[in-house]
Each structure stands twice: as structure tokens, then as C-alpha cells.
Chain A
Amino acid sequence: MKSSARILATFLAATLTAAAGSPPMDFYAAVAMTKAQKNSSTPTDSGLYRREADGRWVHFGPRILGIGSVAAQPGHPAVLLIASADGVVRSTDAGRTWRKTTGWEVLDVRSIAFDPLNPLQVYAATQWGPIRSDDAGANWTPAHAGLAKLYSQTVIADRTRSGRVLIGTEDGIYESADAARTWTRVATSPATTVLRLAQSGANGQLLLAGTQHRGAWLSRDGGLTWQQTDPASATANLYAAALNPHDAAVMAVGGWNAGVRVSNDGGATWTDRTAGLPVKHIFVLAFDPVTPGRLWASTFEEGTFYSDDLGRTWHEGGLYGAYGFDYIFIPAP
């Protein structure tokens, strides 16, 4: 999904600086603590948690309900944008201070994607329609033109072509070639709600989508055409989709009652790798850009887990009780 786009952007940045040594990366999880939510419409805690070197998760940034993700400006990691129910919240000093940069009209922001080739250009998927910023998130404008239905929760900025954006809506995948000023439906995408979009960091032509009731979909031509993949999960609600930035052939999807499913042959075959997890309900998956091959999985309320052998064995990673929305890797400022 968009986390992949960010992983990709940050990975590229990391690659560029590799000569100077391995760049430090911060690992964030956007979650709501719902496990202990009783007699209440609000979770006991929510927001962004950052994983410390010792494995502890520490709350980061403002405590706002409904935080879906966070994004960092490529090349300027001190500029952070939080996607929240209250709108977009921006920091220009690595999280020391924050400012809401959207008005009352913007709500339920679920994901944010910077254009890796034009870091001033940002897109956000909201459940009431996408929005766009031309100044790195300081100001925003609606970006609805051409959309049949406005609901969206996942967006990626094509890392291979500036100004090209793909968004998952209630009506399938839409594409924009003009920085979200106009949208066109991708004809071969499934006519259902697209829950997660991801672009490969190893091969920009490779994209993966998780959908509601229609399973996993794969594109090998940069999102121009899509084909369903993994017949075993063909009717599942897949909330998670991830592509290994170190190996284009390796990918994973996960969903409700679908567990974790992985492919190491570019989507030709898929294998269930749920054994060892406490539940089969998966909301987020991400390949670690720092530790090649490591796969992170967020279960519904039963914690975060990671695997270094593509899901054959899993290790507890904390955040018990969390309902996860996204994993984000960002270069440390």
C-alpha cells in the first residue's frame, strides 16, 4: 500500500546514503488500542507508536483519535504528515510541534503519499474523497474530479513517473496522470472497495492490491492492467498487501480470516503462512527495509509479530491489543 510507497521512497533515500553507512530508520505503527475498549465508543489509546531499539513501542506525536498513517517528505524527514480523523496534522521539526493544516471540511484521512520525484506534491486518501497538496502538506484542496464514488483509504504516488497517482476507491482503482487533478478508472480493476495498494521498491512496474470481497490483485505494468491472483483468497477481505523492496518476486497479503499469505515467485503461487500467529485476522503487513526479508504483521487486537523466514516462524513484536492500520518506516531525522 502507501506504506510500500513510503518504504520505497525511504529505501531509495537510504540507498543513496548507503555509502555513508546504514542509515538509521524509524519504524512507526498507526494503531488504535481497541482490545480493552468496553462500554465505550472510543479506544483506550490510539495514535502513532515508534519502535525503540530495545523493542519497546513508545507513543509518538499528538494523541488524536483515528490516526491512520504518517508520511515523511522525501529528502526532508523532519517534515511529517499525520493522517487522522481530525484531518492532516503536520510537523516541520520532526514531531516537536504540530499543526493541523486542513479545515473542517477534511476528515477521516487514512493514508498520505508524497510524490518521490516531486517532494512538494502530496496526496491523501480520505473516506470522503481524496485531497491534494502542492506545498508539502501546508495547504490542501479537494481532488475529486472524475471519481464516481469518493470513498478512498489507500493511495500511492508512482515512483517511476512524477504526477502519476493511483487511488483505491469504493469503485475500484482510479489513475491520475496530472497530480490528482483528474481521475480515470482503471478498467481492469475490480469493481469493489480497494483496501490497500502497494508498489514494489524493487520493480516499479509491479503493484499489488488487497480488496473487499475480491481478494488480491496484481499489476505487472505499473497499474495499467490488473489480474486477480491467489485463487485461495479470491473472495476474502484483504486489508494488507506488501512487496519486498529487496526482492521483486516476494510479496504478501493478509486479511480477515485469511491469515498471512506469501508468494516468492512473483504471485504465481501463494502459501498460507498463518501458523504461529494467534489469529487469522491480519490488517497490516510490511517488509522491513532495514532488515532484508523481515516481514511484519499486525493482527486484530492480538499483537504485532515478525518473521525472518517469510512466515515459517513468527516472533512476538509487541503492541498487544492494537487494531493496526499501517506500518511506516521513515529515515530518522
Chain B
Amino acid sequence: MLTIHVKTRLCDVFFRLPMTPFRISALLIMAAATLVGAPADPAPLPLSLSNAEISRRFQERREDLIRSAIANLNPADLSKGSFLDVTAALQRGERPADALARLARLNEPAPTGNMFWVYPMAALLATAGDRLDAASQARIAELWRTYWPSRGDTENHWMLYYSGLYIAAQSRPGTGPEQWFNGRSAEENMAEARGYIEHWMRVTTAHGQGEYDSPNYIGEYVAPLSLLAGWAADPAFRLKARMMLDYVLYDYAIEQLNGQYAGAHSRVYPRQVLQPGRVTSSSIGWLAFGLGDRQPGAQALLLALSGYTPPPIIERIARAADRPYVNRELKRTRWRMRNAGPDAIRVGDRQTVPVYKYSYVDRDFILGSSQGGLLQPIQQQTWNLRWRVDQPLDASNTFFAVQPYSSPHEGTMFFGEAWDTVTDLIVRSKADYDSPDKLASGSPHEQVFQHGAALIGLYDLPPGTRFPHIITLFSRDLRNVVEDASGWIFAQGGPVYIAYRPLAPGEWKPNDWTGHLAGGAGGFISAGFKEWGTGHRCYVSGAPRNGYVVQVAPVRDFASYAAFQDAIRVLPLRTAVAPVAEVVFTSLDGSVLHAKYGATPAINGLPVDYGSWPLFESPSGSSARGSRKLDLRHGPERYQLDFESGTITQTVATP
């Protein structure tokens, strides 16, 4: 933990000071404090959030990552070290022979990584192109001519591909069509790449990000933007990339808990569902803001190499003490190719559906959600609760429900494969997609509604539903799970009390993925599942019309667990499952929440106004739909990003 780290360093300095009267007095005070029963681990010194200190700490972490990357190179074992490790060494001018030897190995035989080869190769060229030996230069030139890297089929793929193509083409000025795999000159490739990247920026800042808030794929946006922010020669384009990095990092900072990305996610892998701290977003959060535990990562390394420095206001927001707050965000689904549905809207010639995100951000927990439905083809997490833990890396501090859904209808909505092959082909890389036990899924039969720290999920499973059940995960980190006679199930997750009320009864089942994964299918989840995939319990209900109410509250608000339970039991609650699932619930904050499947939910009798949902809205930031602006606030500070004009405005109000 960084806080402890700083404290330790100060103590070290203190004890190295000469023995002066001041020091003696201080030592006596410290000893006395210990003797009179003060906490054995005294409160950590407050972390300075001055610009200078934020910058200094960032540079320390940055240096740490780069140094460890260079250390990955091993001249005795040329199978070790990535393209970016090589780049780090060459950028620093350290161990160039080791780096070049490893580079030669990496590019033989011909690459297969497509866009995952393009972007680190571009970083290498931009950073250290002039430090390559003749053999490396010749091999790289040959590969750009002969190897056709696919640009992939997701927005993150395209950002990686086009940012890499842009920087690579910039690094090889004047090269003609015959020197490029696609028969286009360097200048043509730069123009095409910039066209897409600026399009993505326009759509994202006006309609929301498509692969929104993904603990995994945030890295695939940070990496390309780092590439451009670090090395785009055009200052206006470079500035836009830096602004988009600010945008993406703020998007993370406003919805994280000690570095853990929380709230509804567009895409998350099974292991990341159960160990939400062991994700790419955590490695980026640690580097950018010092949040959570140190985790190396390729995308964080590229951010470190780029020279980009996050604006200090984002760390101040990330560490803000004025929680709780509500954060609303507008995102969009992945582009829908077909089966777009009546709720689809057009953005140019593409179709999408707005995603309405809502998160209640407390200092001890985050409860966040989207409205449900098919918002992503795979890996969607519609809602989750995350509570604060001091060591987030291996914690399973998560609580959520899911209706496991898969279908050719969903697959062909987003992928170009045929109706009869799409599910099979998805499963070849996402093994859990067609599993009744899967823990991340969108569902067309699900509607979720949240207000404050209360959430209602409703389901209507038609006959023939492939996996006709709802799973609610009670992770192994939950304590004191109680099935109450009132129908509520109570649990405690660290500093948070949870009350869960199913509308229809279910049964407890172990969550054991061992059998499911025994075949080893799925590159991301083929190993280690015994460590993270077992020890949890699921509450599974097969009722076709069903739902639940979730109310959470910080432990600090109640005298005891029993007091919390008493408070929940007396809350007015009316539920029905016919003709459709319906709930009227008065939450702990006194709001009357009314949700009926198929209808717009209401708060205190007023329907939720989805039409005016903002791109961002919280005490720390706001952005109107379509505005292409983001306005950040912290105390008297304002930091305004205007993507229309390509400008940043920073002001500090004077009293």
C-alpha cells in the first residue's frame, strides 16, 4: 500500500536524523502513544495531494514499471521479454544487445498477433527506431511489407490497429505502397488511421464508449491512446489523444474502489468476475494514481513509456473523501449488425442502443448497474456490488446476479458468422459463453433498476429459454449469511451489510467451475480455476417470472448487524410475479421504488427519465449527451476538455 510505503519512508528518514532534543521528544511521544493503548498501527499519514507530490509519486511508479520491464530481458534465455520490454530497454539505451537479440527472436517466424503485433511494433519504431541495428530494421521493413495484420472486429482491436498503423507510418515517412502490406503509402495509411481514430473520439465523446468500463479492455484503449499521446508528431492530434486518455482515466477514477473498477461492465472475463482486483484496470490505476496493489501490465508499461502524465485533478477526484455520491453515465452497446431491435438508434450508418449506467459510490462500497438487456455480445456484467478491501488483488469482494443467456440471435446481432455456427465459434475462445453456469452475461429477459443503494432486478423468461434460471453469486468472502424468516437473505461483505430478497424461492448450489473447465477451453480461463473458481455459493432460481430486491448499507451506519436486519424487515415491500414480476419497495433512504417488468421504473411516483440521461454526471464531472465536452471539478478546481475545439481549460476559483 502506498500510504504505508510513504509512512515507512518518513520513519526511516526520521530515525536517521541526529539525536536532537526535538527527536528525543518525538520519540517519547510516539512511545507514550503506544503504551496508552493507541492503535498498534497508527493512522497513516495523510497522503499529500499537491500537484508536486502527485507528480513525484507518479514518476516513481513510472520508473518502477520501466525498470522491471527492462529486467525481464534475459540474455541467457531469449524466450523472455515482450516487444514492450525491448522498447523500454532501447528507449533507455540500456542493454541494447539483449534487447536486439530478443527482438530478433520475437519477429521469427512471421508474426501472428495481428493488431497485437502492430501497436508494440509501432511503439518500438517511434521510440527507438534509430537504435535498431540493420538486421532488425530490415526484418521489420520486410514484415510491414509482407505480413497483413488483421484490424480485428472490436473497437479496441481497431484502436490498437489504427493507432499502431498511424505511428508506424509516421515512423516510415515517404515509404511507398510497395513497402506496405496493404499496398497503400505511408501517407495514405496515416490518413486512414487518423480518420478512424477521430471518428471513434467523436462518437465516444458524443454518444458514449461502446466497450464501456471494462476492467480488462480499458487497457486496449489506454495503450493506443498512449501511443498517440506519446509519439504522434502532429501536436493537435497528440493533444487530442492526451485528452482522450484524461477522459478514459476519469471514467475509471470516478467508479473505482481502492483501484478496483466497479459498477456495470461491458466486458469482463470469468476470473475477473470472481477476483475483480486482478485485472488490467488495476495495473493502470496503480500506475496512474497509486491506487490498489502494484501490478505490472503491458498497457500500463506503454502508458509509462509514453511520457503522458495524468492531470492531478483526476487523482484528487479518485481519492476524494466526499463520498457517497451518485455517478450516472451514458454508454452504448457494441454496434449491432443485424437483429438491432426496436430500441436501436442510429449513429451514422451504425446501430446501437444507449446504456444507462448508475453507480452509488460510497467510501466503503460501490453498487452499480445498467438497465439490463443485450448490451454486449459476451461477457456483460449488468450490475455488481463491490466492497472495500485493504488487499484487493486476490479478494473476491463481489456480489451480483445474472441470467445466463446465449443464442444465435444474440451472436448474429454482433458478429458476422452464420446463425448455425456463431455460438460454436464464440465458445472456441470464450468457453463460458454457452454455459448454464456462466457468471457474465447479458439477457434480453432482464430489467434492472437502481436508486441510491437499492436495486431491483426483474426477469421474464419465456418458454424455451435455453438456461431458464437466475444465478445470484454469494462469494466466499461474504460472512454471516442468514436466511431470515421474513424472506430476506442477509450477508456481510467487509464493511457492508447486504439484504437480498428473492421474489421466488431458489436453492443453494456450489459454484464449482472445475468440471466446466476440465477441457481447458478458453485461453483466459484454462488454468488456475481451482484457486478462484471454487468456494463460492450460488442462489439459483428457476422460476420464469422472478426478480430480487437488493439493499446495501455501510456497517458504520448501524449499531449492529441485528440492527441492520431489523431496519430491513420493517421496510415496506410489495412483490408479485404474475402476470409479470413487480416490486414496490421503500428503500432505506425513504424513496419509494416501483419496478414492473416491461414498464419504465418510477421513483416516488415519477418515471425515470432516461431521455435526459447525461454522458457523465457526478459531483466531480459532467458531460451532456452529444456535447463532446467533459467538465471535471474538485473543490475550486475545474478541468474542462473540449473535444470540439481540441482544448483544455484549467481554472481555480478564488474565494
Q: Which residues of A contact B (CB under 8 A)?
A: 34, 37-42, 62-66, 85-86, 89, 97-100, 103-105, 108, 110, 127-129, 142, 144, 149-151, 170, 193, 195, 212, 237, 239, 256-257, 281, 283, 300, 323
* Given A39-B522, A104-B162, A151-B338 contact (CB < 8 Å): yes
Taking CB atoms, residues of chain A closer than 8 Å to B416 are 66, 85, 108, 110, 127
Q: How far is the CB of A169 from chain B (nearest CB, A)?
A: 9
CA distance A100 to B429 in the complex (A): 29
In the complex, B153 has a CB within 8 A of chain A: yes
Residues of A contacting B429 in the complex (Cβ-Cβ under 8 angstroms): 39-41
B126 to chain A, nearest CB (A): 21
Nearest Cβ on chain B to A45's Cβ, whole angstroms: 10
A residues near B567, Cβ cutoff 8 Å: none
Give residues 163-193 of B contacting A (CB, 8 Å).
Answer: 177-178, 181-184, 192-193
- Determine which of B148, B193, B420, B526 lies in contact with A281 in the assembled complex, contact meaning CB atoms within 8 Å: B420
Question: In the complex, what distance in Å separates the CA atom of A65 from the CA atom of B338?
Answer: 21
Are the C-beta atoms of B421 and A300 separated by less than 8 Å?
yes
* Contacts of B321-338 to chain A: CB distance below 8 A: 337-338
Known contacts A41-B430, A100-B182, then 16 further A-B pairs from the complex at CB < 8 Å, ordered by chain A residue: A37-B428, A39-B523, A40-B428, A42-B114, A63-B148, A85-B416, A86-B148, A86-B182, A99-B184, A104-B192, A104-B199, A108-B416, A127-B338, A149-B338, A170-B339, A212-B419
Residues of chain B within 8 A of A40, CB atoms compared:
428-429, 523
Contact with A along B127-167 (1 / 0, CB 8 A): 00000000000000000000010110100001000100000
> B186-218: which have CB < 8 Å to A?
192-193, 195-196, 199
Q: Is B418 an interface residue (CB 8 A)?
A: yes
Q: Does B425 contact A (CB under 8 A)?
A: yes
Q: How far is the CA of A81 from the CA of B269 in the complex (A)?
A: 38
Residues of A within 8 A of B150 (CB): 42, 64-66, 85-86
Q: Are B419 and A237 in contact (CB under 8 A)?
A: yes
Are A151 and B337 neighbours in the complex by a CB distance under 8 Å? Answer: yes
A89 to B419, CA, bound (A): 27
Cα distance, A127 to B415, chains bound together (Å)? 9
Which residue on chain A has the smallest CB distance to residue B336? A151
Structural contact, A100 and B349, CB atoms closer than 8 A: no
Docked complex Cα distance between A38 and B428 (Å): 6
User: Which residue of B is nearest A65, CB measured?
Assistant: B150
Quote the shortest CB–CB distance from A33 to chain B (angstroms).
12
Does B349 lie within 8 Å of A129, measured CB to CB?
A: yes
Contacts of A63 in B (CB 8 A): 148
Q: Which 5 A-B pairs have the closest CB atoms?
A: A99-B183, A41-B429, A256-B420, A104-B196, A65-B150
Count: A-B pairs, CB below 8 Å: 96
The residues of B that contact A283 with a CB separation of less than 8 Å are 418
Quick one: given A41-B429, A64-B148, A103-B195, are A127 and B337 in contact (CB under 8 Å)?
A: yes
In the assembled complex, the Cα of A100 lies from the Cα of B184 at a distance in Å of 7
Instruction: List B contacts of A99 (CB < 8 A).
Output: 177, 182-184
B350 on interface, CB distance cutoff 8 Å: yes
CB contacts (< 8 Å) of B350 on chain A: these are 128
Q: Closest CB-CB distance, A286 to chain B, in whole Å?
A: 18
CA distance A193 to B338 in the complex (A): 9
Chain A residue nearest in CB terms to B158: A104
* Smallest beta-carbon distance A256→chain B, Å: 4
Which chain B residues border A41 with CB–CB below 8 Å? 428-430
Q: Is B573 an interface residue (CB 8 A)?
A: no
**Which residue of B183, B192, B338 is within 8 Å of A98 (Cβ)?**
B183
Q: Which residues of A contact B420 (CB under 8 A)?
A: 237, 256-257, 281
Which among A64, A65, A151, A239 is the interface contact of B418 at CB below 8 angstroms? Answer: A239
- Point out the residues of chain B lying under 8 angstroms from A97, CB to CB: 178, 183
Residues of A with C-beta under 8 A to B428:
34, 37-41
**Would you call B181 and A62 a contact (CB within 8 A)?**
yes
Query: Is the beta-carbon distance between A144 and B349 smaller than 8 angstroms?
Result: yes
What is the CA–CA distance of A256 and B339 in the complex, to the nearest angstrom? 20
Closest to A212 in B: B419
A176 to B412 Cα, complex, angstroms: 26
B521 within 8 A of A: yes
> In the complex, which of the residues A41, A170, A283 has the most CB atoms of chain B within 10 Å of its own CB atom?
A41
CB contacts under 8 Å to A, within B440-473, are none
Cβ–Cβ contact B151 & A86, under 8 A: yes
Nearest A residue (CB) for B154: A41
| Chain A: minimal CB distance from B372 (Å) | 25
Distance in angstroms between the alpha carbons of A64 and B151 in the assembled complex: 10
How far, in angstroms, from A212 to B522 measured CA to CA in the complex? 30
Beyond A40-B523, A42-B150, whether A34 also contacts B338 by CB under 8 A is: no
11 A-B residue contacts at CB 8 Å? A38-B521, A39-B523, A86-B148, A98-B183, A108-B416, A127-B338, A127-B416, A212-B419, A239-B418, A256-B420, A300-B421
Complex-state Cα separation, A142 to B428, whole angstroms: 34
CB proximity to A under 8 Å, residues B476-500:
none
Q: A149 contacts which chain B residues (CB < 8 A)?
A: 338, 340
Bound state CA distance, A103 and B162, in angstroms? 12
Taking A98-B183, A100-B182, A100-B184 as contacts, is the C-beta distance between A128 and B337 under 8 angstroms?
yes
